[in-house]
């Protein structure tokens, strides 16, 4: 499972960017899907599979192989 830091790196490469920060999450925006979505703030924490799928879906970023 990837860590949040790795997932955020992929999101940035795809053109997504962080809009704001909350308590446990950051709000990101994807120009691909034109949607806002939440991403965990704890970079060293592993991303659960279902969470990763949902973030990638909202961001329009396919899973890497």
Task: Summarize pLDDT for 15-50 with one digit per residue, the tens.
Answer: 999 999 988 899 999 999 999 999 999 999 999 999
The 35-40 sheet, strands edge to edge? 17-21, 25-30, 35-40
Q: Where are the beta strands (DSSP E) in the chain?
A: 17-21, 25-30, 35-40
Is a pLDDT exceeding 70 seen at residue 65? no
Count the domains in the chain: 1
Q: Pairing between strand 25-30 and 35-40?
A: antiparallel
Tell whether 63 is covered by a domain. Answer: no
Tell whether 54 is covered by a domain. Answer: yes
Tell whether 64 is covered by a domain. Answer: no
Residue 27: per-residue pLDDT: 97
Quote the domain boundaries for residue 13: 4-58
More confident call, 22 vs 53: 53
Work out the average pLDDT over 45-57.
96
With the CA atoms of 48, 34, 20 and 3 taken in that order, what torsion angle do they form, in degrees rounded to the nearest 10? 20
Q: How far apart are alpha carbons 17 and 50 in whole angstroms?
A: 21
Tell whether 65 is covered by a domain. Answer: no
């Amino acid at each position: 499972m990837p860590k949040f830091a790795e997932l955020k790196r992929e999101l940035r490469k795809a053109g997504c960017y962080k809009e704001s920060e909350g308590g446990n999450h950051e709000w990101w925006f994807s120009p691909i899907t034109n949607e806002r979505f939440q991403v965990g703030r704890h970079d060293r924490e592993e991303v659960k599979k279902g969470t990763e799928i949902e973030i990638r879906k909202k961001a329009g970023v396919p899973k890497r192989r």
